[in-house]
Every structure is written in structure tokens, then in C-alpha cells.
Amino acid sequence: MTTEDVKQLEEITINSEICSDPFYKTCLYNLIFIALRYFGIDTTRLVGNDYFVYTSHIGKPLHLQRINRFFIPEEDILQQLGVQITDKMTSSACLNAIAALTKGLLAVIPVDRFEWTSEYNGKFYHKRHYPHYFLITAYYATSGQFIFFDSDIMLGISKKRIAHEELERCYQSYLDNFSEREIMIFGPESTLELECRKDEILHRFCVNYIEKQFEIVKGLGALAQSATYLGHPEARHEILNLLDSFVVADSFFTLEQYIMAEQFQYSLLFGASDEFRIYNQKIFLKLSLIKNIIIKGLMTNKLSNRSMTLIAEHLKDIYVLALRSEEYVYADVTNVLQGG
């Protein structure tokens, strides 16, 4: 089958309520959530498989990250939820998407923004290779275009069009430059009961969280190390060297994303909590202040001693807040396990 064999595939209609949740972790996850919810599949099991730790590269404390890890392999959870993962080495993005749409299924296609000509993609098109994802919902043979949902942390969820030749170029460039993801096909069939009790997922999360306590506490040590390092003279020199590569700014931007994700996860699993929300909001505010200082340094290519002092002070505050936040989560986790 080729794209010329397909006359028209009616668009799969996705209502706005499915797209209404706040941004969770990455653009990919927001598309995964939309696809699962379209087929009535609860996402709590997927969210409950996440835990978050601070980390920094050995010898480079400024490469601070709040990263997402999984209690069990993510691919296992996705496959349990009925997601088919293709062999990327033998795949055509267009043919996989068309095959899925023909069966009433949805496809998430990984792409390289380097080849995407969209007006929203100016800072990446033929400038920078960057992995991204499209949720394909329709194909119109008369125009040779696919309809897809795009997720962006700043612009939210939006519907766009792309020619099949461009989609294939974006996908092939992804294969040439990345190896993170395969094409994912979503459908209504699941190897698990769709009505999974949230209290069971919460209990499993709490058991797994206790098992990962050493790693979580070690991550707080990485955060403390970064805060201490900023008091050293070589830290200022390192930041200036990294400004052109956006490494530091990207690092703190990612930290913000995962703080938001952690808030969403906590609310979904444990319910609303003003104390936890306040801790996370304060951390988010401190991260924003640091990011703004670094962006100003990026624009002027200099950082004053006062700026360095402010970054160090904010990061030390974040360490104290993160420690209290983890203590709060630990208390809730032990309360669940004790039958509270």
C-alpha cells in the first residue's frame, strides 16, 4: 500500500475536554494521554509508574536535573494499556499512520523538528535537531495532508496539518539523529481491566516509593552539591562557557516542567493538598528566578557576582523546600502503607 492508494480517511474527532489537563512532563506524554483517554483508558497507572529524582553529571554540578524514572519499564506499562510499538528500523511514518487510521486507531509519530517547516518551528527548522511528536488523527488524499495534534508547553494543544512528504522527512531525520522512540499505535484493546482501582495503584506506588528511598535521598544530595558549588569562583566561569549552548537555561526549564508534573501526579494519586502545592509553587518560583537571571546572562554574555550570589541563594532555598516536600510525601506514603 502507498499513500496514493488511500482516497480519504475521515478525521477522528477528539473533544477539547480530553485535552484539558495541565502539561505533564513532556509533549509526548500529553499526546499519549489524549490518545489513551480517547479510547476510555485511564492514565493513572501510567502516572503512578513515575518517580522523580534530582541528579547532576559527575564533575558538573551545574548540569542539575529533575528527572523522571520508572518503577517498571515504561514500555511494559504502555503495552499493558494496549499500545502497539512498531519496529522503527523498518517503518514508514505515513504508511503506519494510514494503517492505524484505517482501523480507527491513532498513531503517535516521532519527528525531528529540524525538518518541520511550520511557522511555529522557526528556532529549530534547519538550525537544530530536536525530537518531537505528532498525534495523527486524519489523512486527506486530495491534498496529501495529515491532520495531527501538536503539544507545546507554551502554546498548549493545537491541531495542525502536514504534507505526507514532509512528515516522512521529519520521521526519517528522527531515525538518523535519535533512537529514543518508535511509532506508537493506540487502540481500545488492553490486556488490563480498564476500570483499575486507584487505591490499588496508590498502594503499589507507595511500596515502590519506599523501595526507591535511597535513590531519592541521594538525589537531594546532588541538589545540595549544586547549591554549594555555586559559591566557588569556577562556577561563574563554567556558566559563562555554557551560556551559548543553552545547557544551563534548558536544565532549569526542564526542572520547572518536572516540578509541575510532580504536582499533577501527587494530586492524582493522593488528592489535593495545600501544603504540598505551596512547597512546589515556591520551588517553581525560585527556579523561574534562576532561569531569568541565566537568560539575562545569555543575552548580555555576562554574569555579575551579585547574580551568582542570587543563584546560589535561590538554589539553597530550593534544597530546603525540596527536602520538606519529600518529607511530606514520605509521611503520606507511610500513612497509606499503615492503612491510614
For 64-80, how does the pLDDT look when each residue is reduced to its tens digit (9 = 90+)?
777 788 998 888 888 88
Summarize pLDDT for 263-313 with one digit per residue, the tens: 889 988 998 778 888 998 999 999 888 888 877 776 776 767 787 788 888
Q: What is the pLDDT of residues 82-132, one digit of tens each?
A: 888 876 555 688 888 888 888 888 999 999 888 888 877 777 778 888 889
Strand-pair partners of 326: none
Which of 37-51, 62-76, 84-98, 321-335 tops mean pLDDT?
321-335
C-alpha cell at 195: 476500570
Domain coordinates in residue numbering, the chain: 3-38+84-186, 198-337
Q: Is the pLDDT of residue 30 over 80?
A: yes
Where b means 16+ CB within 10 Å and e means fewer, 105-117 reads bbbbbbbbbbbbe
Nearest to 318 by CA among 258, 270, 268, 272: 258
What's the pLDDT at 41?
Answer: 84
CB neighbour list of residue 280: distance below 8 Å, 6 or more residues apart: 259, 262, 263, 325
Say what the pTM is: 0.83
Which residue reads 497507572 in cell numbers?
Answer: 45
